[in-house]
Amino acid sequence: MIEAISLFAWLAAVSGAPVPTDDPLTRPMAVERAKEWLAPLPPEKIFGTSYLVGFGGLSVALIDTGAGLILVDGALPQAAPAILANVRKLGFDPKDIKFILSTEPHYDHGGGLAALARDTGATVVASARGAEGLRAGALAKDDPQLGYGGSWPAVTRLRVMKDGEVLKLGKIAIAAVATPGHTMGSMSWRWQACEGKTCKAIVFASSLNPVSADDYRYTAPASAPIVEGFEASYRKMDAMPCDVLISAHPDNAGAGRYNDAPGACRAYADRSRKLLAKRLADEKAGVK
């Protein structure tokens, strides 16, 4: 309880407004992990009108389209006030946020979506499977992390996008890229940011880490679609235009808050590819 209260005090300080401790949409989750995941960072420009408004351990992006704002991901429930405070620090009004794009139906990336949508009036956008999880506020039955349990605030205002579909707002077009594996509803997002005549392809990648609850086996017959999903995601990451990589957890991108090194998306996929191969080999060898 003391840790939760101190976290609320920090959120109140950075947002400049009191945070109600009885708000069901911002009640703290994973308080111990939140010390790392929600390590405060100032908002940062990436390129053009694309920014980061998240934290040391959880990425949240902001895009100014010229006709409204778009957020990508929502971090933990208790993070919502700090995210909106960072939006204000950049000189934007959170009420101008029209859409919030979701990478995956997990509490560490989707937990704050309900509060953010309520406080901004924005519509949350996800894959069909991702939307199912966000509406339920719970893990899917085929999620490798199902054994961990837990729930988060459910999202009610949702728009579903298919793989390859493009969301257009103002001067920005954002492509949905299905990247299943970590969850079968995982979605990455790609758009172009420009400064003058120079443009860069920015990819906000969903998690590709093959982690699971202790009793889950990737080698089980029921897990075959998950493994196939990872392999399809690797192929997409290898092939897509990618000048700047933002990963849902910054440390997985390989360099600071984002990675603008050549081949960043391919390296991101290769890291997961090697981890999954080791996990499969260990399971077949009986190594826990």
| 204 vs 156: CA distance, rounded Å | 23
Tens digit of pLDDT for each residue in 211-248?
A: 999 999 999 999 999 999 999 999 999 999 999 999 99
| 85 vs 14: CA distance, rounded Å | 7
Two tokens at 49? 């009108």
| 116 vs 70: CA distance, rounded Å | 12
The confidence score (pLDDT) of residue 98 equals: 98
From the number of C-beta atoms within 10 Å of its C-beta (0-12, 13-18, 19+), residue 239 rates as exposed
Ramachandran category for residue 181: left, alpha or beta (phi over 0 → left; psi -120 to 50 → alpha)? left
> Which residues, in sequence order, are CB contacts of 22 under 8 Å at separation 6+?
none
pTM: 0.92
The confidence score (pLDDT) of residue 5 equals: 41
The confidence score (pLDDT) of residue 2 equals: 35
The confidence score (pLDDT) of residue 254 equals: 79
| 157 vs 17: CA distance, rounded Å | 26
The number of distinct structural domains making up the chain is 1
The confidence score (pLDDT) of residue 69 equals: 99
Q: What CATH number corresponds to the domain at position 224?
A: 3.60.15.10
In the predicted model, residues of the chain with pLDDT beneath 70 are 1-21, 288
User: Can you give the residue range of the structural domain that contains 272?
Assistant: 2-285
- Taking a C-beta distance cutoff of 8 angstroms, is the pair 37, 75 a contact? yes
